[in-house]
Amino acid sequence: MTNQTFDPVELLNDRVRAAIAAAAPDAPADAAALISPSKRAELGDFQSNAAMPLAKRLGMKPRDLAARIVEHFDPTDLCEPVTEADIAGPGFINFRLKRDAISTLLDRLDSPALGLPAPEQPSTIVVDVCGVNLAKQMHVGHLRSSVIGDTLARTFERLGERVVRQNHVGDWGLPIAMVTRKLQEEVDAGRIALDTLTLDELDRLYKLAQHECRGQGKALELVAKYDLGPKIEAELQAMHDEAMEHLTKAKATLVALQAQEPTVYAIWQRIYAVTMGACLKTCGRLHTRITETDSAGESSYAEELTTVVNDLVERGIATESDGALVVRLDSPEDDKIAEPCLIRKGDGGYLYATTDIAAIKRRVQTIGADRVIYTVDARQSLHFRQVFAAARKAGYATKPGAAKPSVLEHAAFGTVLGEDGRPFKTRSGENIKLNDLIDEAIERAGRTVDTKNPGLPADERATIAEAVGIAAIKYADLSSERIKDYVFSFDRMLAFEGNTGPYLLYALVRTRSIFRRAKERGVALDHAGAPIIVAEPAEKALALELLRYPSAVRSVAAALEPMRLCAYIYSLAGAYSSFFDACPVLSTEDPAVRRSRLRLCELTARVLEDGLEVLGLPTVERM
């Protein structure tokens, strides 16, 4: 048995692949072993479905091929001997694990690292998280970019990699200049005081500024097209002129901002401080490890943009198109993206993409990222394909001295929907504030906790409600396939049964409570290092689940899919619950069996705790 993996599926995989290579030398190198838990437990623990598809490719009879694989299979240490009698149906091969092999594997898993030791050479992983915008409240979309991003970051941290979170705050450009100017006007008129400024006020000014600067070009075109008359045209023209005046002023503010003109810059800094103060507080409420030091907003790249763009022009990577500058990406060496990446507008202004190209350069070449992961809405996927391709074309995605570019990945996520199946908004079509959502989850959790645990002191009930509410929201977000849209439902996510956050917190409490009860009853906790006896089917099922933990965590990192760990923890909780129903622990007469079961309980508690920590769910002692 190798030291690297504990997962019987992976171990069987290796052996069956070796057997295939020996049994059928013509088999393609990538021939899969196709190991899965046995459909019929009476036939074995696991089965391989490899023979059917492979026989077809090799022009053999599947059962004949299965027989040859069995002949070359090496069961040593791991399984009971496999014979032709273990071939079922068209050519499934059944395997039964040796019980002491399971015990040995569990023994190895039961180390401080729980099968996930730190690598000797950690790699550097940058995770683009959160991405709030100045002067705007965090809304439900930021739930996903913060929670999924933080969980992916935690996963890599758990695997011992060096992780750098980057909060690419939208804090620069014309929309920010618009609100900066608006705020300055309000301050000058004495309507708003800078030192008591709130995010709610800013949010309102942002919308107002957007509205003021919106031109009437489209409407004027329609008036001309349908000849709607001079009166309406004059009215619209006046509105349009006014908007253009606002816009001109905002552009002047942008120039002043870029030059860090003291009064304008001071206003902007206040907007920044108010927004980020609120944002980081919300990130804290969500139990994410997103802090001030992770902020690297668009403004932090402002001074690099001209250098980057000049470099791209000098090296012929950026070319002119209708007065603007673009990077073409349609050739086969690039990513065959039809739409060129716009990096400078005709008026000289830089764009969202320009900043992201500069950000890749910094992340790879200064921070040293081997892998950069962007947890951003799926609707930005063309943007990321473009900036990834442009950065690769420019060589910015390659570390100094490295032979090939670092890995750039868009961990795209779907939209949060309301129960009506449309994007989750308030009745009046406004975005739902993330803080309101958190408040409501905790409040609803509180009502349940109060009913279920009336005996607990009020402050403990409040702590539990907070953990349950946050765990519910986060788990609901993490447990569906990342790219899919999901329907936000308080009732569903807060349920104490089923695949929910609260259920898993409860499962952990249950596994821990056995140790509390042992103490109360004076049962000796002398199970450390005791041999694990895998006798009952429920013990075996629990043991096999436990052994899957390291590969479950690794698979989150490989696929950037937190749902895999969610599914794993949920199924571990289920296996524990069946074990707990079928196998008495404290009341067992035989001390060897009691110790073995206590050890299984403890290992389950540790794996659950570790897994919930990787997911970033807050846990509780009682509930």
Alpha-carbon radius of gyration of the chain: 30
CB of 168 to ligand ARG, least distance (A): 4
CB of 229 to ligand ARG, least distance (A): 41
168 binds ligand ARG (CB under 6 A): yes
Q: How many CA atoms lie within 13 A of 7 on its CB side?
A: 18
Q: Cα 616 vs. chain centroid, distance in angstroms?
A: 11
Closer CB to ligand ARG, residue 304 or residue 460? Answer: 304
Residues 61 and 55: beta-carbon distance below 8 Å: yes
Closer CB to ligand ARG, residue 183 or residue 391? Answer: 391
203 binds ligand ARG (CB under 6 A): no
Closer CB to ligand ARG, residue 373 or residue 607? Answer: 373
Name, in order, each residue with C-beta under 8 angstroms of 276's C-beta and a sequence gap of 6 or more. Answer: 132, 169, 292, 295
Q: How many CA atoms lie within 13 A of 509 on its CB side?
A: 16
131 binds ligand ARG (CB under 6 A): yes
From the list 187, 205, 206, the residue with the least C-alpha distance to 196 is 187
CA distance 389 to 119: 30
Q: Where does this chain touch ligand ARG (CB under 6 A) — which range of 66-74, 127-135, 260-268, 473-481? A: 127-135
φ and ψ of 71, to 5 deg: -60, -35
Closer CB to ligand ARG, residue 148 or residue 623? Answer: 148
Edge-first strand order for the sheet with 318-321 is 318-321, 324-329, 337-344
CA distances to 2, 290, 449, 534, 594 from 104, rounded to whole Å, are: 12, 39, 41, 11, 18
Closer CB to ligand ARG, residue 411 or residue 476? Answer: 411
501 binds ligand ARG (CB under 6 A): no
Give the containing element (helix H, strand E) for 99.
helix 99-109
CB of 402 to ligand ARG, least distance (A): 22
Q: Which of 170, 340, 502, 611 binds ligand ARG (CB under 6 A)?
A: 170
CA distance 587 to 300: 63
CB of 313 to ligand ARG, least distance (A): 23
616 binds ligand ARG (CB under 6 A): no
CA distances to 8, 203, 278, 431, 443 from 200, rounded to whole Å, are: 54, 5, 10, 13, 22
Closer CB to ligand ARG, residue 108 or residue 385? Answer: 385
CB of 144 to ligand ARG, least distance (A): 11
302 binds ligand ARG (CB under 6 A): no
Judged by CB under 6 A, the chain residues 359 through 398 that form the site for ligand ARG are 359, 374, 376
Closer CB to ligand ARG, residue 437 or residue 532? Answer: 437
Q: Which residue is nearest to ligand ARG (CB)?
A: 131
Closer CB to ligand ARG, residue 166 or residue 216? Answer: 166
- Angle between helix axes 563-582 and 549-559 (nearest 10 degrees) is 160
Name, in order, each residue with C-beta under 8 angstroms of 182's C-beta and a sequence gap of 6 or more. Answer: 205, 206, 208, 209, 212
128 binds ligand ARG (CB under 6 A): yes
CB of 372 to ligand ARG, least distance (A): 9
Residues 567 and 482: beta-carbon distance below 8 Å: no
CB of 503 to ligand ARG, least distance (A): 32
10 binds ligand ARG (CB under 6 A): no
Site size toward ligand ARG, by CB under 6 A: 9
CA distances to 152, 438, 444, 558, 606 from 486, rounded to whole Å, are: 19, 17, 20, 23, 30
133 binds ligand ARG (CB under 6 A): yes
CB of 145 to ligand ARG, least distance (A): 7
Q: 3-state DSSP call for residue 337?
A: strand
Q: Where does this chain touch ligand ARG (CB under 6 A) — which range of 42-50, 112-120, 126-134, 241-249? A: 126-134
502 binds ligand ARG (CB under 6 A): no
Closer CB to ligand ARG, residue 19 or residue 341? Answer: 341
CB of 253 to ligand ARG, least distance (A): 20
Closer CB to ligand ARG, residue 19 or residue 302? Answer: 302
CB atoms within 10 A of CB 143: 24
CB of 151 to ligand ARG, least distance (A): 17
Q: Where does this chain touch ligand ARG (CB under 6 A) — which range of 128-136, 182-190, 405-413, 426-434? A: 128-136
CB of 134 to ligand ARG, least distance (A): 9
Q: Spell out a b/e string for 171-210, using b for 16 or more CB atoms within 10 Å of the CB, else e.
A: bbbebbbbbbbbbbebbeeeebebeebebebbbebbeebe
546 binds ligand ARG (CB under 6 A): no
CB of 380 to ligand ARG, least distance (A): 6
Helices (H), 380-433: 381-394
Judged by CB under 6 A, the chain residues 327 through 366 that form the site for ligand ARG are 356, 359
CB atoms within 10 A of CB 406: 24
Q: What is the DSSP string of 448-497?
A: HHHHH-TTS-HHHHHHHHHHHHHHHHHHHHHSS-TTS-EE--HHHHT-SS
CB of 276 to ligand ARG, least distance (A): 13
Residues 145 and 377: beta-carbon distance below 8 Å: yes
171 binds ligand ARG (CB under 6 A): no
Closer CB to ligand ARG, residue 144 or residue 474? Answer: 144
Closer CB to ligand ARG, residue 152 or residue 445? Answer: 152
Per-residue mark of binding to ligand ARG, 85-124 (x: CB under 6 A): ----------------------------------------
Residues lying near ligand ARG in the complex (CB under 6 A):
128, 131, 133, 168, 170, 356, 359, 374, 376
